[in-house]
Amino acid sequence: MNVSLNWLKNYVDINIDEEELAHKLTMAGVAVEGIEKVDTDHVLELDLTPNRGDCLGLINIAREISAITGSQLKIPDIKIKENHENINDYIDIEIADQNLCKRYAARLVKNVQIKPSPTWLQEALTNSGIRPVNNVVDVSNYVMLETNQPLHTFDYDLLGSKKILVRRALEQEEILTLDESKRKLDGDMLVITNGEKPVAVAGVMGGYNSEINDNTVNVLIESANFSATSVRKTSQKLGLRSDSSIRFEKGVDVNGTIFAVNRAAQLIQKLAEGEVVAGILDVYPQPITNHTIFLRAEKVNDLLGTNLSIGEMEEYLLSLDFKIEKEKNKLIVEIPTYRPDLEIEVDLIEEIARLHGYDNIAATLPEGVTTQGGLDDYQLFRKKTSTLLAKNMLEVINYSFINNNMLDKLLIPGDSHLRQVVKVANPLSEEQGVMRTLLLPSLLTNIAQNLARRNENLSFFELGSVFIPREGDLPTERLKLGAIVSGSSEVNWLKHKIDYDFFYLKGILENFLDGIGLKEYEFMTFSNPSYHPGRTAKLLIKDIEVGVLGEIHPTVLDNFDIKQAVCAFELDLDTLYELMEDKMGLETITKYPAVERDIAIVVHNDITAKQILNKIKKNGTEILQDVIVFDLYTGEQVPDEHKSLALKLKFQAFNKTLTENEVNQVVDNILNKLNELGAKLR
């Protein structure tokens, strides 16, 4: 933007030369790119940042100069002599789209004399990069540059009606603009009409058929506020960029319309001997008022590294012509609507910084506590979980959205808490209508889709979130681990297949639990409608249910169109993490040899292997290091409704070599205690 220094002096006393002024403006954040000498004037070339659209008006630039130099601001005093008529007898204004037009004001000046503008006005426009036309058009451009409020002047007699209707354009509607180009409009564009046809493209350019010409007698002055987004899009679509559109795009003060239209009426009355009709038409449906910002003195000095007093801060902001109330160590600052860039406290702190002078703020290195960074314990736990499962399975990532019908396919009862889902307000499709409460439906879908493509040997896991609704609040998000297998795997070195069955998946789960350092856990028979009855277990840790493991129910498989057996487990990882010990300890490796004993016992089918193991561990003393079940047998030589379990017991001491007699005593004690469960040595 080009600014005439002589013109600028009308609004503020400038007692320094142009070079010093340029330096002060630049240091205050209004960058001056260059200075050009034009006859007896100097033209400043400003490079404004996008947030300072207000400085496209000379009065606002004068405000900046007044603040940084302490000079008196001189805003023009408007005095208009009105006739005894009423503008309401001449024109009526209606805004059909208040979102795109926040305010529309107009004045009427009659019996004007169209002629060239005086020399001072032509020079002011020329030095600012605008070509003079005639006294009326030049006044509208002059006021626009002065106030940053674009104006448009219509030949009132060429409007064709006493109505101004601001509306969206009709599809394929046409207008002949001032540049004598016929332009097609669309429904996203805003136009000014005479009630029927467009006479201007709002905020961009006027119409050719109602422009001011040498025969104009009566002038209607428009001063309005249009949506910045609408003007920008319209300007781009039409390939038409004007001084008016540039200003509307950056934002124009909605409360500056009346000052601008009065200023234009004043100058037209003076320069064109016009007669101003009494009254202003002002349609302003939703008035916008100044907002306030609370400024804490402590926050200012903390951010800037300064030691300014609250009085100094107040003085800087008063120099910008802001209204201020002081409250203890805080300022309540009223922000005028011509400064839309000031929204929050830090914006005011920046104003204080630039007026105080960036050179006056010491350069210091940032201070604070530094941390090494890296993953926290929970993040490491998640990473380790993925690493352990990835040894045997492929990781899948599914959407957190599912179809609510998935819960029907899983045979979830109607009163189950899993039916309490978070509904998506605007789902992409019906298949993504709710947030999932468990991972199983997504994993079964993965299996079904792969089987449909003849991929039959499948082993997947997913680490993902489920969502539980909370009334009046955001849903609770829980991290879960799900795994699913189906088919079998070829093991070349064993030269046989390994079936992906319940025990295979149970082994993967036990390896995972061992990998994260969990030794004490328990599997118990369990009933779950989505899993096969009699082939399902729940995982307990410290008597807390952590997850479920089992073979998927045949009906569920049919619902997902799966024709082969599938096994899955699903764990609540957040609960699992909370139950883990804080630290994993180190244990010395003993140098003394271990002693192993195998025993086979016969028990009733109602007695679980877990009961047997618990009894053995409880009575094995400190030398019993481990016990595992390595065989299950039913058939000949075993009574009906009984089973034979073969167990391996490992004994070892850390301070000596065990004798056979010591081991035998412990084994005999274990066998005696097993008798309490009805177990007999086979």
- What's the one-letter identity of residue 497? K
Confidence (pLDDT) at 526 = 87
pLDDT (0 to 100) of residue 445: 95
Confidence of residue 492 (pLDDT cuts 50, 70, 90): low
Predicted pLDDT of residue 579: 87
Mean pLDDT check: name the lowest of 23-37, 275-289, 327-341, 395-409: 23-37
pTM of the model: 0.59
Q: Can you tell me the mean pLDDT for 516-535?
A: 88
pLDDT at 92 over 80: yes
Residue ranges in 410-466 assigned as alpha helix (H): 440-452
> Dmax over Cα atoms in the chain, in whole Å?
129
Q: What is the pLDDT of residues 311-345, one digit of tens each?
A: 999 999 999 999 999 988 899 999 999 999 999 99
505 vs 28: which has the higher pLDDT: 505
Give yes or no for a contact between 547 and 572, defined as CB atoms under 8 angstroms apart.
Answer: yes
263's tokens: 């200023």
347-381 per-position pLDDT tens digit: 999 999 999 988 888 887 777 777 777 888 899 99
497-521 pLDDT, tens digit each? 788 999 899 999 999 998 998 878 8
At residue 430, the pLDDT reads: 79
Do residues 171 and 164 touch, judged by C-beta distance below 8 A? no
Percent of residues, the chain, with pLDDT higher than 90? 67
β strands within 297-386, DSSP E: 323-327, 330-335
What are the tokens at 663? 């081991």
CA distance 103 to 222: 11
Report d(CA 84, CA 390) in Å as an integer: 89
For residues 647 and 630, is the Cβ–Cβ distance under 8 A? yes
| CA 104 to each of CA 87, 199, 257, 280, 334: distance values in angstroms, whole numbers, following the listed order | 14, 15, 8, 10, 25
Integer CA distances (angstroms), 397 to 116, 386, 443, 482, 512, in order: 74, 12, 9, 11, 19
User: Apex CA 497: angle with CA 494 and CA 503, to 5°?
Assistant: 105
